[in-house]
């Protein structure tokens, strides 16, 4: 079975400080990992994904994520947070032997304080 | 760039009524996915279609059905609505099936409220 954990329901960070949103996963095959962001009453917007290759993936809006196979983690990071980054962040996983649908984590609400 | 279109954006129904949600994928995307997101929950996969055929099935109730049409748009039909069906329903599309690497692009969602 595939599963995703986001251990923090809420992350608070001051504007200009670095932010990290944590994600760990469990899959039986090769993992494909995705980050999506959801603003209030909006759909999910794709940020970045890890397929293969370089463990550090760069995405939209200055976000990046680091794939760590030994720790089965895919933490989302940004060097300098903006107030406009405040939103709900979902980590999602698919495995190459599983199917086409995503398994999402429970989400982490990021609040960037001015 | 064109995005996934969902209609209606908001829908209010009474218990035991039926509802139809529509999804128009990004042009040249032939795979459509439906997800249900309850209040404070993560999206849960319902069903997907590729080239008008069901490709995968998740936690979709028997009261729900869906199909994909020749123009690749999809409709989610929901009957005998229950209060617990109140949720945000997302449609996503991707350019091809069987590509676990492929990104799914989500629509804005339809918020269904069952009274």
Give B17-70 pLDDT, tens digit per residue. Answer: 999 999 999 998 888 999 999 988 889 999 999 888 988 888 899 999 999 999
DSSP H helical ranges for chain B: none
Cβ atoms of A90 and A104 closer than 8 Å? yes
Q: Strand ranges (DSSP E) for A1-114?
A: 3-5, 10-14, 19-21, 24-26, 31-38, 44-50, 56-58, 64-68, 73-78, 87-95, 103-104, 108-113
| A106/B106 CB distance under 8 A | no
**Torsions phi, psi of B83, nearest 5?**
-55, -35
Percentage of the residues of chain B whose pLDDT score is greater than 70 = 94
Q: How many residues does chain A have?
A: 114
Residue B6 to residues A17, A81, B95, B100, B104, Cα–Cα distance (Å)? 37, 31, 17, 24, 15
| Residue pLDDT tens, chain A, 114 long | 788 999 999 999 999 999 999 999 998 878 889 999 998 877 889 999 998 888 999 998 999 999 999 999 999 999 999 999 999 999 999 876 555 678 899 999 999 999
Cβ atoms of A10 and A112 closer than 8 Å? no
What pLDDT shows up at residue B50?
Answer: 87
**Nearest C-alpha neighbor of B89 from the set B47, B56, B57:** B47
| B100/A43 CB distance under 8 A | no
Q: Which residue has the higher pLDDT, A13 or B2?
A: A13
Please report residues of A whose CB lies closer than 8 A to that of B104. Answer: 46, 102
What pLDDT shows up at residue A99?
Answer: 58
Q: For B1-24, what is the mean pLDDT?
A: 94
Q: How far apart are CA B103 and CA B108, in angstroms?
A: 16
What pLDDT shows up at residue B99?
Answer: 62
Chosen from A6, A37, A43 to mutate, greatest number of chain B CBs within 10 A: A43
Q: What number of other Cβ atoms are within 10 A of residue A45's Cβ? A: 16
Q: Does any CB of chain A come closer than 8 Å to the CB of residue B64?
A: no
What pLDDT shows up at residue A100?
Answer: 62
- For residue B97, pLDDT beyond 80: no
What pLDDT shows up at residue A52?
Answer: 83
What pLDDT shows up at residue B57?
Answer: 87
Please report residues of A whose CB lies closer than 8 A to that of B56. Answer: 99-101
Q: How far apart are CA A93 and CA B44, in angstroms?
A: 13
Angle at B88 between CA B29 and CA B20, to 5 degrees: 70
B98: pLDDT confidence band, cut at 50, 70 and 90? very low
Chosen from A57, A101, A102 to mutate, greatest number of chain B CBs within 10 A: A101
User: How many CA atoms are closer than 13 Å to the CA of A112, on its beta-carbon side?
Assistant: 19
What pLDDT shows up at residue B100?
Answer: 62
Please report residues of B whose CB lies closer than 8 A to that of A105. Answer: 42
């Amino acid at each position: 079975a595939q599963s995703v954990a986001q251990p923090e329901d809420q992350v608070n960070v001051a504007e200009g400080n670095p932010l990290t949103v944590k994600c760990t996963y469990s899959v039986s095959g090769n993992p494909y990992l995705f980050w999506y962001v959801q603003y209030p009453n909006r759909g999910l917007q794709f940020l970045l994904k890890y397929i293969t290759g370089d463990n550090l993936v760069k995405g939209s809006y200055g976000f990046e994520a680091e794939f760590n196979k030994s720790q089965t983690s895919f933490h989302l990071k940004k060097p300098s947070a903006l107030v406009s980054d405040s939103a709900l962040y979902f980590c999602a996983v698919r495995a190459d032997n599983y199917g086409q649908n995503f398994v999402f984590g429970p989400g982490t609400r990021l609040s960037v304080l001015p | 760039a064109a995005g996934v279109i969902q209609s209606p954006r908001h829908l209010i129904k009474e218990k035991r009524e039926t509802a139809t949600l529509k999804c128009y994928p990004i042009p040249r995307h032939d795979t459509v996915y439906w997800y249900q997101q309850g209040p404070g929950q993560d999206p849960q996969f319902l069903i997907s279609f590729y080239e008008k055929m069901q490709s995968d099935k998740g936690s979709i109730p028997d009261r729900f059905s869906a199909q994909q049409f020749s123009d690749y748009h999809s409709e989610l039909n929901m009957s005998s609505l229950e209060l617990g069906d109140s949720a945000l329903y997302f449609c996503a599309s991707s350019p091809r099936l069987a590509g676990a690497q492929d990104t799914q692009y989500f629509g804005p969602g339809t918020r269904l409220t069952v009274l």
